[in-house]
Structure 1
Amino acid sequence: MSRDALWEKRMNTIVPLVAIFLGFLVGILIMLFTGRDPLDIFRALMRGTIGIDTTLIGTGSLWFNARYIGEFLVFSMPIILTGLSVAFAFRTGLFNIGAEGQLLMGSFGAVMIGVLLDLPTIIHLPLAVLTGVLFGALWGFIPGFLKAKFNVHEVVVTIMMNYIALYFANYLVKALPGSDNVKTVPVAESASLASDFLSNLTNNSRFHWGFILVIIALIIFWLIIEKTIFGFELRSAGFNKHASKYAGMKVDRNIIYSMMIAGAFAGLAGVLISIGTFDYGRVLSVNEGYGFDGIAVALVGNTSAIGSLLAGLLFGGLKAAQPLMQARGIPRDITNIIIAAIVIFVAMRAGIKQIFDRFRTKEVE
């Protein structure tokens, strides 16, 4: 590997780290400006992610609670998956702003199977998971098809389809037997990802078997993008449609496949929420923002599998720490400010890289 290529690779790691540092710096400055202790952010973040309350160490009170670790992972898992969804589309030259809608449809698909069918666990649970993934993929198929056949920009279509999914999913949820205007009946135990073992291990948290599906999704993402000819063709079709056609690739098909795979990752996030975290389908008045969190995760994670994992854990930790921040008198929106600041600084990648390039040039001289 040449020196320049090695430098570019290092920048892919350094820029997100600098962006995270500057994002937290913005949060600290706001805390100081409003007369609050900025260390409370880090105390809440530490307790929300690893369960340690530093203020109670040595007092004889309970200073470690594994429940916080379980809830931290519950917050993180869907964000990691929507991050993979957006990252996959980015890596193939597309913009999937519709992970929220794909998540909602995946959530309904899993709940539908969990409520309507009565099957052995070995059949019921995989069927519920696969149905949710398929529903997310089908919701991704629509913008992919419109992009491939009519060159309709996927950003516009996916944004609009988020709202369609919200109201359509609400209608479908209410139509399930036993549902009311708030939620469905609980899914069958044979179709649930909930685990008494994992719950007891983390002091009665909502942690569930969905973490295994997240690991599988990360591996699948990495294999497709980095190790297969199929992944290369998907990336080629997205970034240079005409050259790919000239090379004999089926460009329209690959664009559709890219959006469907991205939708499948988001649909899996919906599966984890509906039959893992809650065990029932919900009627929502507004989108919960998982899809837009996924955009931030993909950007900060440099659209890679490991990057999306780490960024998802970071943002999941910030989300998990929000109630603890409120308990300390810190507005919960401070976490949203930090996340937004991190994304802004990541978007300033060229400027940050230029600063480091100047230092590098001086060292060479």
Structure 2
Amino acid sequence: MSDPNDPDVSLEQPGAIDDASGTSADRASTSTATSVESEPPVTTAPGTTAPGATPEEPSRWTIALREITTGNAIISVLAVVLALIVGAIMIAFTDERVQEAAGYFFARPGDTFIAIWESVSGAYVAFFQGSIYNFRRPDFVAGIRPLTETLTFATPLIAAGLGVGLAFRVGMFNIGGRGQMLIAASAAGWVGFAVDLPMYLHMIVALIAGMIGAALWAGIAGLLKARTGAHEVIVTIMLNYVALYLVSWMLRTPGLLQAPGSNNPKTPAMKDTAIFPELLGPQFNLHFGFILAVAATVLVWWILNRSSLGFQFRAVGENPNAARVSGINVKSMYVYAMLISGALIGLAGVSQVLGTVTTGFSSGIDAGIGFDAITVALLGRSTPWGIFAAGILFGAFKAGGFSMQAAEGVPIDIVLVVQSLIVLFIAAPPLVRAIFRLPAPGSAPKRQRPIVTKEVKAK
């Protein structure tokens, strides 16, 4: 028969026996002490969380790093890196020295790798010297000239990119940059060579005329979308052709845009009172248009982030149905967005006429900027300062591409391929994330599962 004072019995039947030797509270404390002594400690692997314990919160540096790796900005940067890598491969394959060394690769493989390095490094060094700083020049003023050329090329790209990006934020695709630039150039150019006004006032009037002309041309697409539901992509593409043939006709018609006494489809030179002033002197091509591009960037940032109109723009871009239910006039927002977008793209056309091509222009005054602006807006993620940086990058491509071609014999088409690859990689964020093994946006960090060792019974 079991002894009532045996601790094993008291563990199996707590409170079953009550005699004069102890109360139930004493037996409970005895049971707890015995169970604690019989249970060994649970061990966990280093860096894991014990069962039942609260997991440690990630540090602020870990959170910041994850926000960077899951953001959109890193995709744009890595898209440029990937495009430059692919461009380096194309430069190596098209180089004659590399092809010659590859003919005896198995005899002397080192010659091939040396030729590849010299080809790629020489091309990108020439790109740097042609777009940022030429350290072979005798003084700093001459060496910094490539940077001013980059900013000059970037000026119309920034202005046009802002116009396209603002339309993107409202959920519209303004593909009519070419036509709007041609209309702006025609209006500003006509005022620039046909009207006599005092200095500075002449420039301001020509600038306003060009921006208003482009705004009204883009407003046609916004009005048709608001009133009839016509898709702005189709309308703006068709308006490109209308503007091209209209301006071409005016350039061949005396009394309109054609220079008097000339049979060439070209305008007269702009008057000195209408030309943008130079920023750094006659030895540089950088003009007042760059200041206007910076001012336009600040203005668009303020509109989108600090004004009630910008709030309505962003609301319509996110969900037009919800914006309509909340009381926003969606149709009016479409018209306003296209008017402002066209005015910004018109600033690019005016910069070409009054700042870069002041000796007269032809129907090719847009120089493909209207379509390059779409790439700039995509690379800048439709944010004002992102577009500003993307415009400078593409300005560097234009300035450095000619230097690469002249110094290293690299085909200028490779620069165009690199620009196209940037668009391709930006349009495929999952591809970029897979190549660099980046986490997907919104995914939570994986927590390590706790490793629990097997408990051993006390003997």
TM-score by length of 2: 0.72
Is 1:16 the equivalent of 2:76? yes
In the alignment, the residues of structure 2 paired with residue 83 and residue 158 of structure 1 have an alpha-carbon distance, to the nearest angstrom, of 16
Structure 1 segment 233-252 matched on structure 2, within 5 A: 233-252=312-331
CA apart distance, 1:99 = 1.2
Contact 2:129 2:146 in 1 (8 A): yes
Q: What residue in structure 2 maps to residue 324 of structure 1?
A: 403
Question: Does the residue aligned with 1:198 lie in a helix, a strand or coil?
Answer: coil
1:256 pairs, out of 335, 350, 374, with: 335
Is 1:352 the equivalent of 2:432? yes
* TM-superposition CA deviations, 1:141-186 (whole Å, max 9, x none): 0111111111111111112212221221232344236354242111
Contact 2:210 2:350 in 1 (8 A): yes
1:130 pairs, out of 188, 193, 208, with: 208
Is 1:178 the equivalent of 2:288? no
Q: What residue in structure 2 maps to residue 268 of structure 1?
A: 347
1:189 pairs, out of 268, 272, 278, with: 272
Contact 1:68 1:205 in 2 (8 A): no
Is 1:65 the equivalent of 2:143? yes
Deviates more, 1:157-166 or 1:259-268: 157-166
Q: What residue in structure 1 maps to residue 121 of structure 2?
A: 39
Q: What residue in structure 1 maps to residue 30 of structure 2?
A: none
1:86 pairs, out of 157, 160, 164, with: 164
Deviates more, 1:146-155 or 1:235-244: 235-244
Identity of aligned pairs, percent?
34
Contact 2:124 2:404 in 1 (8 A): no
What amino acid maps onto 1:222 in structure 2?
W
CA apart distance, 1:45 = 2.0
What amino acid maps onto 2:338 in structure 1?
M
Gaps of 5+ in 2: 1-59, 99-118, 449-459
Contact 1:234 1:254 in 2 (8 A): yes
In the alignment, the residues of structure 2 paired with residue 39 and residue 5 of structure 1 have an alpha-carbon distance, to the nearest angstrom, of 31
In the alignment, the residues of structure 1 paired with residue 147 and residue 83 of structure 2 have an alpha-carbon distance, to the nearest angstrom, of 23
What amino acid maps onto 1:341 in structure 2?
L
Q: How many pairs does the alignment contain? A: 357
RMSD: 2.7
Q: What residue in structure 2 maps to residue 342 of structure 1?
A: 422
Question: Does the residue aligned with 2:187 lie in a helix, a strand or coil?
Answer: helix
1:51 pairs, out of 103, 110, 133, with: 133
In the alignment, the residues of structure 2 paired with residue 136 and residue 271 of structure 1 have an alpha-carbon distance, to the nearest angstrom, of 10
What amino acid maps onto 1:154 in structure 2?
E
Q: Which has the higher helix share?
A: 1
Question: Does the residue aligned with 1:199 lie in a helix, a strand or coil?
Answer: coil
Is 1:112 the equivalent of 2:190? yes
Contact 1:193 1:208 in 2 (8 A): yes
Q: What residue in structure 1 maps to residue 295 of structure 2?
A: 216
Question: Does the residue aligned with 1:248 lie in a helix, a strand or coil?
Answer: coil
Contact 1:11 1:353 in 2 (8 A): no
CA apart distance, 1:115 = 1.4
* TM-superposition CA deviations, 1:86-131 (whole Å, max 9, x none): 1111111111111121111111111111112111123211111111
Question: Does the residue aligned with 1:157 lie in a helix, a strand or coil?
Answer: helix
In the alignment, the residues of structure 1 paired with residue 64 and residue 149 of structure 2 have an alpha-carbon distance, to the nearest angstrom, of 42
Contact 1:145 1:256 in 2 (8 A): yes
**Change in CA separation of 1:209 and 1:10 when aligned onto 2, cut-off 3 Å:** farther
* TM-superposition CA deviations, 1:278-302 (whole Å, max 9, x none): 1144222596211111111111111
* TM-superposition CA deviations, 1:57-95 (whole Å, max 9, x none): 8xx799953332222211111111111111111111111
* TM-superposition CA deviations, 1:25-75 (whole Å, max 9, x none): 11001112223611233222211222314xx48xx7999533322222111
Gaps of 5+ in 1: none
Q: What residue in structure 2 maps to residue 232 of structure 1?
A: 311
Contact 1:111 1:128 in 2 (8 A): yes
Q: What residue in structure 2 maps to residue 199 of structure 1?
A: 281
Contact 1:75 1:319 in 2 (8 A): yes
